[in-house]
């Protein structure tokens, strides 16, 4: 299998909406999502475990176990567009009517397979930058659940 490119990747946001079941059926049943426009880059995302250790004095051998799992965050770099419904929904989920609420995110890859997760918006910033034609910004999504691997959109 060849590594696929990222051009054509999209992100759909379901503000303050959670699936009734955390599986493909629940995700597919969601309605009212909006595509987030002008995303220039996505950061890596997904879980990592906190490695806990215990060293008995008699052996001096470090025992390791995975403790707390943190599903991390996804950082979005965006070209700011005040009229983009997806960006408006993300800002609203940060400090508007849906502030501090958990929403659902569906990332569709160029081969039409999807990944979904739930999370909340922890930042929504603007960067006027230097002299130039683009105002950019960023948005951080704090994942609060595992990332689901889904089939192509129904």
- Domain around 96: 10-150
Per-residue pLDDT reduced to its tens digit, 95-146:
999 999 999 999 999 999 999 999 999 999 999 988 888 999 999 999 999 9
- Region for 129 from its dihedrals, namely left if φ exceeds 0, alpha if ψ lies in -120 to 50, beta otherwise: left
For the segment 5-16, the average pLDDT, to the nearest whole number, is: 95
Answer whether residue 5 is part of any domain.
Answer: no
Burial of 64 (0-12, 13-18, 19+ CB in 10 A): exposed
Number of domains in the chain: 1
**Other CB atoms closer than 10 Å to residue 69's CB: what's the count?**
11
Answer whether residue 113 is part of any domain.
Answer: yes
* Separation of CA 57 from chain center: 43
CA 126 – CA 12 distance, rounded (Å): 21
CATH classification at residue 130: 2.30.110
Q: Tokens representing 149?
A: 């691997």
Percentage above 90 pLDDT, the chain: 92
The structure's pTM equals 0.91
Answer whether residue 104 is part of any domain.
Answer: yes
Answer whether residue 2 is part of any domain.
Answer: no
Answer whether residue 79 is part of any domain.
Answer: yes
């Amino acid at each position: 299998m060849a590594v696929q490119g990222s051009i054509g990747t999209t992100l759909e946001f379901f503000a303050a909406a959670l699936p009734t079941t955390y599986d493909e059926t629940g995700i597919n049943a969601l309605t009212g999502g909006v595509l987030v426009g002008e995303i220039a880059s996505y950061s890596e995302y997904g879980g990592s475990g906190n490695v806990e250790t215990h060293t008995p004095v008699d052996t001096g051998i470090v025992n390791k176990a995975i403790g707390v799992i943190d599903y991390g965050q996804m950082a979005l770099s965006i070209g700011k567009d005040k009229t983009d419904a997806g960006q408006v929904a993300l800002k609203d989920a940060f400090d508007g009517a849906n502030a501090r609420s958990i929403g659902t995110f569906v990332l569709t890859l160029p081969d039409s397979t999807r990944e979904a997760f739930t999370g909340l918006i922890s930042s929504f910033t603007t960067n006027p930058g230097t002299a130039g034609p683009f105002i950019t910004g960023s948005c951080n999504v704090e994942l609060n659940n595992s990332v689901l691997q889904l089939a192509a959109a129904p």
